[in-house]
């Protein structure tokens, strides 16, 4: 399971040039976050600061309870083992082939034998579509292939925190989608904490659980995707729609005169670019069918519900609609009398269970669960069955066992890995 990364009051400069100041955010345990912002706002610098490659002048970076701004070199070395990092250019060793590049972290940080290393390396290379290219040098392959090889190396230790710097850089749109799907599948399997730096609008809208944005040396916003996707903050709205209308210009600072001129052109019908202005919240990508459900989704939605009353009314309406649609898609099933799953929609829950007279009319409310026992007044007399046959003979079992509800756990309630 992933670990929490908490950043507070972080400020970084190169000489007299301030990159960003007073950045405060928390990457929630096991959730996928994305960091957006115009080019040159220090997103890659932020990633490198999280693993101690760059040292900010002020603030704290707490990783799994350790402040890497204050810890020793030995402690930092151990903390880095929690991370898997995909750098923007792949950062491969030019003199090593792809196999040895991918195997490097295993040889450096573990005592695994070469046959074990080979099995893991080939598995990761297959994940990113590089089977057959393991003997090639980085200089012999395309930039997109180097990016995928860098991702294989980032995943080889099954890290608890994964940092990904522009996964779409050098990749075509199709492979970018495959990489996005792969990251979500990994999150579903190991509940890793992830931070993705990206300019890809579609990725930003559909992949992460949380979104943040750097602009004009500050963190404009950071929070659950539902909050950012309904935000009226001009810079956030402009960036997510990729249009010229807004405070972001060719240079980071755009004056009021230019903004008025561009707005006038837009009002006159001039196309100022951008993607389709999508109202509401786009559906989030899911893991591949057959993968475990991402627990991060449920933790995030509970957090959204707890803060929704603080948001503007328009945002509340859009978020509630999104949550209702998501809940309607999560229809629990039960094992019916024939042993087949599918009772919720087909016959159990809707046709004769909850709505048709079971749970409401004679089960839970009128004397089933509350009024004298589920079996006496609910299950047998008017709920899930129509005769006096024992539960075991009807094929539906488990009403007396507590229903699993781990999807409602808060991050603090879950054990750390």
DSSP code string of 202-225:
HHHHHS-SEEEEEETTEEEEEEEH
Q: What is the mean pLDDT of residues 247-264?
A: 70
Q: Are residues 204 and 98 in the same domain?
A: yes
Backbone torsions φ then ψ of 403, nearest 5 degrees: -75, 135
Is the pLDDT at 333 greater than 70? The verdict is: no
CA distance 395 to 417: 37
Tell me if 208 sits within 8 A of 196, measured CB to CB: yes
Domain boundary among the residues 173, 208, 241 is at 241
Q: Are residues 233 and 357 in the same domain?
A: no
Tell me if 132 sits within 8 A of 159, measured CB to CB: no
Does some domain include residue 82? yes
CATH number of the domain that residue 169 is part of:
3.40.50.300
Q: Are residues 348 and 221 in the same domain?
A: no
Q: What is the pLDDT, as a whole number, of residue 279?
A: 62
pLDDT digits (tens, 9 = 90+) for 346-357: 433 344 444 444
pLDDT > 90: percent of the chain: 46
Look over the chain and give the mean of its residue pLDDT values, rounded to a whole number: 79
Q: What is the pLDDT, as a whole number, of residue 381?
A: 42
Q: Which helix (H) or strand (E) holds 59?
A: strand 58-63
Q: Are residues 346 and 197 in the same domain?
A: no
Is the pLDDT at 14 greater than 80? The verdict is: yes
Does some domain include residue 273? no
Encoding tokens for residue 193? 């904490």
Compute and round to an integer the Cα radius of gyration of the chain. 25
Does some domain include residue 291? no
Residues in Cβ contact with 205 at an 8 Å cutoff, skipping those fewer than 6 apart: 225, 229, 240, 278, 282
pLDDT tier for residue 142 given thresholds of 50, 70 and 90: confident
Strand partners, 224: 210
Q: Which among 129, 121, 214, 212 is positioned nearest to 171, based on CA atoms?
A: 129
pLDDT digits (tens, 9 = 90+) for 87-135: 877 789 999 999 999 999 999 888 999 999 999 999 999 988 899 999 9
Q: What is the mean pLDDT of residues 32-43?
A: 92
Tell me if 150 sits within 8 A of 91, measured CB to CB: yes
Is the pLDDT at 257 greater than 50? The verdict is: yes
Does some domain include residue 254? no
Encoding tokens for residue 180? 């996005």
CA distance 19 to 14: 7
| Domain region containing 356 | 332-417
Q: What is the pLDDT, as a whole number, of residue 238?
A: 87
Domain count along the chain = 2
Domain boundary among the residues 187, 214, 241 is at 241
Least confident of 92-106, 294-308, 331-345: 331-345
Does some domain include residue 342? yes
Is the pLDDT at 45 greater than 60? The verdict is: yes
Q: Are residues 340 and 223 in the same domain?
A: no
Is the pLDDT at 331 greater than 50? The verdict is: yes
Does some domain include residue 289? no
Please give the span between the terminal C-alpha atoms of the chain, in angstroms, as a whole number: 4
Is the pLDDT at 392 greater than 70? The verdict is: no
Q: Are residues 224 and 340 in the same domain?
A: no
CA distance 195 to 34: 5
Q: What is the pLDDT, as a whole number, of residue 409?
A: 44
Q: Are residues 237 and 126 in the same domain?
A: yes
Q: What is the mean pLDDT of residues 68-83?
A: 92
Q: Are residues 227 and 354 in the same domain?
A: no
User: Is the model more confident about 170 or about 11?
Assistant: 11
Does some domain include residue 11? yes
pLDDT tier for residue 262 given thresholds of 50, 70 and 90: low
Does some domain include residue 306? no
Q: What is the mean pLDDT of residues 294-308?
A: 92
Domain boundary among the residues 241, 275, 308 is at 241
Q: Are residues 198 and 51 in the same domain?
A: yes
Q: What is the pLDDT, as a whole number, of residue 253?
A: 63
Q: What is the pLDDT, as a whole number, of residue 270?
A: 63
Q: What is the pLDDT, as a whole number, of residue 408?
A: 41
């Amino acid at each position: 399971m992933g670990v929490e990364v908490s950043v507070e009051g972080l400020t970084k400069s190169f000489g007299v040039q301030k990159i960003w100041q007073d950045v405060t955010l928390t990457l929630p345990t096991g959730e996928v976050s994305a960091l957006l912002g115009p080019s040159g706002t220090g997103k890659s610098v932020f990633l490198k600061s999280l693993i101690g490659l760059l040292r900010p002048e002020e603030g704290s970076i707490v990783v799994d309870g350790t402040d890497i701004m204050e810890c020793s070199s030995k402690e930092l070395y151990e903390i880095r083992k929690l991370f898997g990092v995909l750098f923007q250019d792949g950062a491969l060793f030019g003199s090593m082939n792809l196999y040895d590049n991918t195997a490097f972290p295993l040889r450096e940080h573990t005592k695994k034998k070469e046959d074990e290393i080979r099995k893991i390396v080939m598995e990761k290379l297959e994940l990113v579509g590089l089977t057959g290219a393991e003997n090639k040098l980085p200089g012999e392959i395309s930039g997109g292939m180097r990016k995928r090889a860098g991702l294989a190396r980032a995943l080889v230790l099954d890290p608890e925190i994964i940092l990904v710097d522009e996964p779409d850089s050098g990749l075509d749109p199709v492979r970018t989608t495959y990489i996005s799907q792969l990251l979500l599948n990994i999150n579903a399997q190991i509940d890793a904490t992830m931070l993705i730096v990206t300019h890809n609008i579609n990725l930003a809208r559909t992949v992460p659980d949380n979104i943040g944005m750097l602009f004009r040396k500050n963190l404009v916003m950071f929070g659950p995707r539902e909050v950012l996707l309904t935000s009226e903050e001009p810079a956030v709205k402009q960036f997510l729609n990729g249009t010229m209308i807004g405070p972001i210009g060719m240079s980071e600072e755009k004056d009021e005169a230019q903004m008025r001129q561009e707005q006038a052109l837009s009002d006159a019908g001039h196309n100022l670019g951008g993607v389709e202005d999508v109202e509401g919240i786009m559906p989030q990508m899911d893991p591949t069918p057959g993968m475990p459900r991402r627990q991060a989704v449920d933790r995030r939605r509970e957090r959204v519900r707890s803060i929704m009353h603080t948001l503007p009314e328009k945002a509340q309406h859009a978020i509630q609609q999104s949550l209702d649609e998501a809940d309607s898609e999560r229809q629990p099933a039960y094992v019916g009398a024939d042993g087949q799953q599918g009772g919720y929609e087909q016959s159990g829950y809707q046709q004769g269970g909850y709505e048709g007279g079971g749970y409401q009319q004679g089960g839970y409310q009128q004397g089933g669960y509350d009024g004298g026992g589920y079996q006496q007044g609910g299950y047998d007399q008017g709920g899930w069955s129509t005769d006096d046959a024992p539960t075991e003979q009807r094929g539906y079992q488990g009403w007396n066992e507590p229903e699993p509800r781990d999807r409602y756990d808060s991050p603090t309630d879950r054990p750390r890995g």
